[in-house]
Amino acid sequence: MAEAWIPEHIVRDVLKTTIEDLVNLNTAKNLIGSTVAGTIGGYNAHAANIVAAIFIATGQDPAQVVCSSNCITIMESCNKLGNRLYMSCTMPSLEVGTIGGGTHLTAQRGCLEVCVQK
């Protein structure tokens, strides 16, 4: 699980939108849209693409993307410490191998060492 609190001025100035619009978009696309589409474990904005890229870069088995990309993305407006966008991404079945496959290749091993803390 990863989470972040993004200040309103960053959402406005960098992302060129509002917290309310992002929260509404997440609800409409990632939650309601995914449910209507019959998604199983994919309440997110294309987590499979990101997982596939990381797997290839780190020598993982790309065939495991189908199981490892189960994900739910949550966005909420949070006013406790100033107006902020709260975001969380939960991936309960992310599989990561540190031996075998392409993990022994120099470039992939280097990427894997960046991603996996020992």
Percentage of the chain beyond pLDDT 90 is 43
The reported pLDDT for the residue numbered 112 is: 78
Evaluate if residue 76 carries a pLDDT over 90: yes
Residue 94 pLDDT > 60:
yes
Tens of pLDDT, residue by residue over 15-45, are: 999 999 999 999 999 999 999 988 887 888 7
CB-CB contact of 18 with 27 (8 Å): no
pTM: 0.75
CATH of the domain spanning 2-115: 3.90.770.10
pLDDT (0 to 100) of residue 9: 96
Three-state SS sequence of 8-29: HHHHHHCCCCCHHHHHHHHHHH
Residue 23's closest CA among 112, 83, 91, 86? 86
pLDDT at 81 over 90: no
User: Which sequence spans correspond to the domains of the chain?
Assistant: 2-115
Measured distance between the N- and C-terminal CA atoms of the chain, rounded to whole angstroms: 18
Confidence of residue 117 (pLDDT cuts 50, 70, 90): low
